[in-house]
Amino acid sequence: MRVVQITDPHVTATGTLRADAIDTGQRFKAALDHCRTLDPAPDLVLLTGDLANDARADEYAAVAAIIDALPADMPPMALLPGNHDDRAALCRLAENWRFAPDYNATDFVQTAIDPGGGLPVVLMLDSLVDGATEGRLCARRLVWVGERLTHAANRPVIIAMHHPPFVPTIMPGQPACEGTDALAALLARHGGLIGSLSGHLHRPMAATFCGASSWVGPSTAYRLPLAQTTDDLQRAAGERVCYAVHDWSPQTGLRSAEIVV
């Protein structure tokens, strides 16, 4: 099973640039186009949050224009919200997707992806707190996770969430995502976690969470320096577009890599 993870595109309105320098829409499109050339082809493409830069309608219109123009052979996609996103706008975007969010049932943009055939079940979680940068998995969201884990008994499970479930040592001051201890307890009870996939930090990182691989994917838009200023962002405009690929088989487990376009 091959999963592509494209994260933190921070798309701005058509005709505008992030920090007056970065064409984030073009960079998002470059990652989407490139992943279709992979061999073997991806089974699934996960968009792990911060699709828009400021959750504005004209930014989601730009995202929709990019996605609507993808060819019919694009692998199935699923999304979850980041702290820069708007839940209702994301749901409109994914309304007709094969893996549309379970939004009306929960008020949160969460999706359970079951490819069948003994392959891993992917749980896309909503760690968005309205108006805040930091993330949270509240009790209601964790009830949904518990139900899906019960349903996925004896199956391997991958968790995807925008905010990483660990605090990186290299970026001091990053707050922990609330609720990850309770999430870890649910996952430990299930026993089948093979990996967690996140974004938000705009640079690839690896750790362990609940005894399994925990990966942070690189932003397609720009790699965050450890300090963040407009100058830093403008310097990042010349960097290559990056995304991540995660391959899983029962024999090898989960193997993750950064792809540079």
- Rounded CA Rg of the chain: 17
Q: Is 8 in the site for Fe ion (CB under 5 A)?
A: yes
| 8-state DSSP, 220 | S
Q: 130: how many CB neighbours lie within 10 A of its CB?
A: 8
Site for Fe ion contains 86 (CB under 5 A): no
Q: Which is nearer to Fe ion, 2 or 86 (CB)?
A: 86
Cα–Cα distance, 13 to 48 (Å, whole number)? 20
Contacts of 143-148 with C-beta under 8 Å, sequence gap 24+, read 144/102, 144/106, 144/108, 144/110, 145/110, 145/183, 145/186, 146/186, 148/112, 148/121, 148/123
Interface pick for Fe ion out of 25, 42, 81, 82 (rule CB under 5 A): 82
Amino acid at 98: R
Question: What's the closest the beta carbon of residue 8 comes to Fe ion, in angstroms?
Answer: 4
Q: Which is nearer to Fe ion, 190 or 203 (CB)?
A: 203
CB 12 to Fe ion: min, Å: 13
Q: Which of 87, 200, 203, 223 binds Fe ion (CB under 5 A)?
A: 200
How many residues sit in the footprint of Fe ion (CB under 5 A)? 5
Which residue is it, tokens 């359970």? 112
Closer CB to Fe ion, residue 85 or residue 102?
85
Q: Does 81 bind Fe ion (CB under 5 A)?
A: no
Q: Site residues for Fe ion, window 31-50 (CB under 5 A)?
A: 50
Pick the binder of Fe ion from 53, 83, 110, 180 (CB under 5 A).
Answer: 83
> What does the binding site for Fe ion look like in residue numbers (CB under 5 A)?
8, 50, 82-83, 200
